């Protein structure tokens, strides 16, 4: 008994006097002047399309060059307009910006077609015309403008160009150009109706346009829309779809011509459905010539790096699911079952499926629970597998596909029992086409870096920011703080969580509430990171003698913001201290 008491006293002493003293976060900008530059036109200004893409690019040795924010920003109804006098980005100014990058000698591009065609993803869901406004008051045809841009980029055979496109979702955006929730529900119901399946020669633009209005057995969907009082909104939506699909086809047709061998096209399925809906024939039409993907910018950056670096030296990977529903779509917005989504991503990144004992990379996925009574058991099984991987030094990509069904319990246990800073990547929430792409984009890219001996200091810090950003926003904001803010906005401020301008509410009070909530919610997670080790090398092969780690330094979060002035997502600045000698484990906790 005395020995047990002494051990407990020793443990307390270690926790209080020998705990890691993390290095102070460094706020000086990284020196990226000597890095290869990617000219990047984002889909819009949400953090997943900006900050997270910047972190990933820098973590694999690139520097991202982007236009001014005002040129690609989306504004919801009632919010201040952009410099071009609209709620969307400025396609003409972006067109000129890309040409300027080409004139300056850039040879790597990742370009969102929705931004260049329409001014962003949200705008692409409502635009119905083919004209782009010019500064002198004139107009230009958007497809002609883009054709000229692609022709200019194709003239330099050293250019590598990734184009990002999308299949339009089932309904436009609420709170943009006057769109209401009732209209959204009407159009989504109309879009979800089954359509006649087109095949062979019938799978063409003209037949697809006509087929928007016909059910599988010849039902007249115009009549149904009129009876539901939704015909005019459905007509506008169909016109937007016709435009979107036509522009996608024009790009595909251009890239099929000689001279475009160094161009790549990814097409995301936006808000997809497994049912025979309005997207069905569009997807089949685009699949005829190209693979269809999702979560675009992450994938383009990761794949560009893999292609240029020679790919993975050993890309064996094992997927293990916990929860029992991997054979089903993970949520209402998934186009395919989780297993199928995973297989497609494996092919895209050059990962080779293997048994856990033989695989370099371990992909652990918590699915929605098949049996709610077994939720705790599913979490425990995954945590045990994660702890075994840590013990055996097997790098892990962790995916939470539970879609909120586990509440805060899973994240709480991860924070208490797992070394978060050691993960190769993490992603959760949203639909799984996005989440799986995010997790494997970062995981495959990081694995390739590690197999080449790791990155320089700037690459390591960028990777650290990527991991902190994904974990903190899921564990702390989406799962805890956001729920408090939603109630605070509605009940205390009398506002709308989806748009702080309609009615106009105090951003100062809201940001103060956000900061206080995040300071409290993130405290334990940050402490976990600061006591974690970072995997920094797996070179020259997957052998214990080649394995290397470093200790995390301090982590600081500052300057929280709401990029679209809504509560759905947040932005924040992340500062990291210098990495240290590896922390040592005592009683399951890591110390210096």
85-104 confidence digits (pLDDT tens): 999 999 999 999 999 999 99
Confidence band (pLDDT; 50, 70, 90) for 237? very high
Rounded to whole angstroms, the Cα distance separating 562 from 111 reads 24
Looking at domain 37-179+238-307, which of 3.30.410, 3.90.550, 3.40.50, 1.20.120 is its CATH number? 3.40.50
Answer whether residue 510 shows pLDDT above 70: yes
Q: Map residue 216 onto helix, strand or coil.
A: coil
117 HSE (CA, 13 A, CB side): 30
Three-class secondary structure of residue 155 per DSSP? coil
- Helical ranges in 197-318 per DSSP H: 205-211, 221-227, 231-255, 280-287, 296-309
Contact partners, residue 446, CB within 8 Å, separation at least 6: 59, 424, 425, 463
More confident residue, 157 or 27: 157
For residue 271, pLDDT over 70 is answered with: no
- Give the model's confidence band at 273: pLDDT under 50 very low, under 70 low, under 90 confident, else very high: low
Cα–Cα nearest to 303, from 466, 113, 62, 49: 62
Percent above pLDDT 70 for the chain:
90
CA-based max dimension of the chain: 88
Q: Which helix (H) or strand (E) holds 422?
A: none
SS3 8: helix
Task: Report the distance separating Cα 543 and Cα 453, nearest Å.
Answer: 13
| Residue range 238-264, pLDDT digits in tens | 999 999 999 999 999 999 999 999 999
Q: What share of the chain is helix, strand, coil (3-state, %, to 5)?
A: 45, 15, 40
Q: Alpha-carbon distance 108 to 38, whole Å?
A: 5
Residue 171 and residue 167: Cα distance in Å, rounded?
A: 12
Strands 555-561 vs 571-577: parallel, antiparallel or unpaired: antiparallel
Q: Which helix (H) or strand (E) holds 577?
A: strand 571-577
Give residue 46's Cα distance to chain centre. Answer: 10
Global confidence as pTM: 0.92
The β-bridge relationship of strands 108-112 and 37-41 is parallel
Would you state the pLDDT for residue 404? 85
Q: Answer whether residue 145 shows pLDDT above 80.
A: yes
Half-sphere exposure of 247 (CA within 13 A, CB side): 33
Q: What is the mean pLDDT of residues 144-150?
A: 95
Q: What is the pLDDT of residue 592?
A: 41
**pLDDT tens-digit profile of 282-309?**
988 988 866 444 456 888 999 999 999 9
Reduced to 3 states, what is the DSSP secondary structure of residue 104?
coil
Which tokens is 416 given?
A: 């208490």
Q: What is the rounded CA–CA span in Å between residue 299 and residue 122?
A: 21
Q: How many helices (H) and strands (E) does the chain have?
A: 20, 19
CB 349 within 8 A of CB 424: no
**pLDDT at residue number 434:** 77
The b-or-e profile of 24-34 (16+ CB within 10 A means b, else e) is ebeeeeeebee
pLDDT score of 22:
80
- Which residue matches tokens 């993907």? 293
- Could you tell me which of 446, 372, 441 has the C-alpha nearest to residue 403? 372
pLDDT at 17: 37
Residue 4: pLDDT over 50:
no
Q: For residue 335, what pLDDT band results from cuts at 50, 70 and 90?
A: low
Give dist(CA 341, CA 450) in Å, integer: 25
Q: What is the pLDDT of residue 542?
A: 47
**Segments making up each domain of the chain, as ranges:** 37-179+238-307, 313-591
């Amino acid at each position: 008994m005395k020995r047990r008491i002494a051990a407990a006293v020793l443990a307390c002493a270690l926790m209080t006097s020998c705990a890691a003293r993390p290095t102070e976060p460094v706020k000086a900008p990284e020196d990226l002047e000597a890095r290869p530059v990617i000219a990047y036109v984002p889909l819009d200004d949400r953090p997943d399309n900006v900050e997270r893409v910047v972190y990933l690019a820098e973590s694999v040795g690139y520097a991202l060059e982007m236009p001014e924010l005002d040129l690609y920003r989306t504004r919801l109804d009632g919010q201040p307009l952009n410099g071009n006098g609209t709620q969307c980005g400025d396609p003409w100014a972006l067109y000129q910006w890309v040409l300027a990058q080409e004139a300056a000698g850039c040879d790597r591009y990742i370009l969102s077609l929705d931004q260049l065609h329409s001014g962003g993803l949200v705008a692409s869901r409502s635009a119905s015309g083919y004209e782009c406004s010019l500064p002198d008051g004139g107009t230009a045809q958007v497809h002609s403008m883009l054709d000229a841009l692609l022709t200019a980029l194709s003239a330099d055979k050293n250019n590598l160009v990734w184009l990002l496109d999308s299949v339009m979702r089932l309904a436009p955006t609420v709170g943009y150009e006057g769109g209401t929730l009732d209209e959204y529900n009407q159009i989504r119901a109309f879009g979800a109706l089954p359509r006649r399946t087109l095949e062979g020669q019938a799978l063409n633009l003209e037949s697809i346009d006509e087929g928007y209005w016909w059910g599988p057995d010849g039902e007249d969907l115009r009549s149904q829309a009129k009876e539901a009082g939704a015909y005019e909104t459905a007509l506008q939506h169909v016109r937007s779809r016709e435009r979107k699909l036509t522009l996608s086809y024009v790009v595909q047709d251009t890239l099929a011509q000689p001279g475009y061998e160094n161009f790549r096209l990814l097409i995301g399925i936006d808000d997809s459905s497994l049912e025979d809906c309005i997207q069905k024939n569009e997807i089949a039409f685009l699949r005829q010539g190209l693979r269809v993907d999702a979560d675009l910018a992450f994938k383009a950056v990761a794949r560009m790096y893999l292609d240029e670096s020679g790919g993975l030296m050993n890309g064996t990977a094992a997927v293990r699911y916990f929860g029992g529903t991997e054979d089903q779509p993970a949520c209402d917005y998934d186009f395919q079952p989780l297993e199928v989504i995973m297989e497609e991503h494996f092919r895209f990144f050059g990962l080779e499926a293997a048994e856990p004992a033989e695989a370099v990379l371990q992909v652990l996925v918590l699915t929605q629970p098949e049996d709610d009574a077994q939720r705790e058991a599913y979490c425990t099984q995954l945590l045990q597998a994660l702890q075994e991987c840590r013990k055996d030094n097997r790098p892990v990509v962790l995916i939470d596909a539970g879609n909120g069904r586990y509440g805060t319990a899973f994240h709480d246990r991860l924070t208490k029992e797992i070394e978060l800073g050691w993960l190769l990547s993490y992603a959760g929430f949203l639909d799984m086409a996005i989440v799986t792409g995010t997790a494997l984009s970062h995981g495959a890219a990081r694995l390739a870096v590690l197999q080449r001996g790791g990155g320089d200091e700037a690459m390591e810090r960028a990777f650290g920011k990527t991991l902190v950003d994904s974990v903190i926003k899921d564990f702390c904001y989406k799962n805890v703080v956001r729920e408090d803010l939603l109630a605070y906005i509605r009940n205390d401020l009398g506002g709308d969580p989806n748009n702080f301008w309609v009615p106009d509410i105090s951003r100062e009070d809201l940001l103060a509430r956000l900061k206080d909530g995040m300071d409290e919610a993130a405290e334990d997670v940050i402490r976990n990171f600061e006591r974690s080790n970072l995997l920094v090398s797996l070179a020259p092969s997957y052998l214990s003698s080649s394995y290397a780690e470093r200790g995390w330094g301090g982590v600081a979060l500052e300057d929280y913001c709401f990029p679209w002035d809504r509560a759905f997502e947040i932005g924040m600045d992340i500062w990291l201290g210098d990495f240290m000698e590896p922390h040592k484990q005592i009683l399951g906790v890591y110390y210096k």
